[in-house]
């Protein structure tokens, strides 16, 4: 049977087909949680309704034959299985539509990858202990995290792309994100991001005066345009949530909303704002969430 459509219906059908083939990504706020015991529970963090992504930080030791170490500061002690109760919190967050990822690395820690085989071994550990695999010693309990975040701030830039690829090979549903510094290209994650495999790239536009907001947004926008021209699929503006959260780069909510967001939201790769961190977010996310 051949169906005939009126000329008034055809533009609507064309738009529907376009949206079906080209799904857009929604914007939102990502936040790092886990490095201060006074920042509230993971469950309370998600219950604010301010965040779309929560990055549990950090797995500080892994790779090169090292026994992996999870460091959640004052929240719990994984060495005595004291963090398995977070499974309930993680599930609560996910039931609200919030993606929960484990963040690797951080500014301090003992981590490195020395070969593709090393990357494969770390991927197997992450899959079995935090993602969809099976292990008798899952540090965060039985909950299955949504993905893995790469906050790699030291060491070589080799093999991180291999790790991300190995994680995706277990399941394409595993989210992988990266948190490079704003100077482009990033010293540690450039090769990995160039693969185009990362779902989200939240660029740290702080602690780097050459590419952050100082007295205006010129340097920030210049760097932003470099990042959105890269192989990064979805780019977030990473910011400190208060003046105490970083040595430089803080942008007040009103300046962010009136001056910066209108410019960067013009990019089709714009994904939202990433904040460091939950501990420092005392009203910042509430002030910006309706504009993000």
Q: What is the mean pLDDT of residues 259-286?
A: 98
pLDDT in tens, 19-28: 333 334 679 9
DSSP state, 24?
P
Q: What is the mean pLDDT of residues 116-125?
A: 98
pLDDT of residue 25: 61
Q: Is the pLDDT of residue 8 over 80?
A: no
pTM assigned to the model: 0.91
Q: What is the mean pLDDT of residues 204-222?
A: 97
Q: Is the pLDDT of residue 17 over 90?
A: no
Q: Is the pLDDT of residue 7 over 50?
A: no
Q: Which domains does the chain have, with CATH numbers?
A: 28-289 (3.20.20.80)
pLDDT of residue 26: 75
Which residues make Cβ contacts (< 8 Å) with residue 32, sequence separation at least 6? 55, 57, 103, 274, 275, 276, 277, 278
| CA distance linking residue 181 with residue 170, whole number of Å | 28
pLDDT of residue 165: 98
Q: Is the pLDDT of residue 3 over 90?
A: no
Looking at the DSSP bridge assignments, the partners of residue 61 are: 69, 110
pLDDT of residue 284: 98
Round the average pLDDT of the chain to a whole number and report it: 92
Which positions are annotated as active-site residues?
Answer: 153
pLDDT of residue 212: 98
Q: What is the mean pLDDT of residues 124-148?
A: 98
Q: Where are the beta strands (DSSP E) in the chain?
A: 28-33, 53-62, 69-70, 99-106, 110-111, 147-152, 175-178, 200-204, 235-240, 270-276
| CA distance linking residue 191 with residue 185, whole number of Å | 9
CA angle (151, 185, 145) in 5-degree steps: 25
Q: Is the pLDDT of residue 188 over 90?
A: yes
Q: Is the pLDDT of residue 264 over 70?
A: yes
Q: Is the pLDDT of residue 226 over 90?
A: yes
Q: Is the pLDDT of residue 39 over 70?
A: yes
pLDDT in tens, 229-252: 999 999 999 999 999 999 999 999
User: pLDDT confidence of 145, banded at 50, 70, 90?
Assistant: very high
pLDDT of residue 13: 37
pLDDT in tens, 147-161: 999 999 999 999 999
* Residue scoring higher pLDDT (21 or 257): 257
């Amino acid at each position: 049977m051949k169906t005939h459509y009126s000329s008034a219906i055809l533009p609507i059908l064309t738009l529907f087909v376009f949206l079906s083939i080209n799904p857009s990504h929604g914007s939102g706020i990502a936040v790092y949680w886990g490095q201060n015991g006074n920042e509230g529970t993971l469950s309370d963090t998600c219950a604010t309704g301010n965040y779309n992504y929560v990055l549990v930080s950090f797995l500080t030791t892994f790779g090169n034959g090292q026994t992996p170490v999870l460091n959640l500061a004052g929240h719990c002690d994984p060495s005595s299985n004291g963090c398995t109760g977070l499974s309930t919190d993680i599930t609560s967050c996910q039931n609200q539509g919030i993606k929960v990822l484990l963040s690797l690395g951080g500014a301090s820690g003992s981590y490195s990858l020395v070969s593709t085989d090393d990357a494969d071994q770390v991927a197997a550990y992450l899959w079995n202990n935090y993602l969809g695999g099976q292990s008798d010693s899952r540090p965060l309990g039985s909950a299955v995290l949504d993905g893995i975040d790469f906050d790699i701030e030291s060491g070589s830039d080799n093999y991180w792309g291999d790790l991300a690829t190995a994680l995706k090979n277990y399941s394409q549903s595993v989210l992988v994100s990266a948190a490079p510094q704003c100077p482009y290209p990033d010293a540690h994650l450039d090769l990995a991001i160039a693969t185009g495999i990362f779902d989200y790239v939240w660029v740290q536009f702080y602690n780097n005066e050459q590419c952050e907001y100082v007295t205006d947004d010129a340097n920030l926008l210049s760097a932003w345009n470099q990042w959105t021209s890269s192989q990064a699929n979805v780019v977030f503006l990473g910011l400190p949530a208060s003046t105490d959260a970083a040595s430089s780069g803080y942008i007040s909510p009103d300046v962010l909303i009136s001056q910066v967001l209108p410019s960067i939201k013009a990019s089709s790769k714009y994904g939202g704002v990433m904040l460091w961190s939950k501990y420092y977010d005392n009203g910042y996310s509430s002030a910006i969430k309706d504009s993000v």
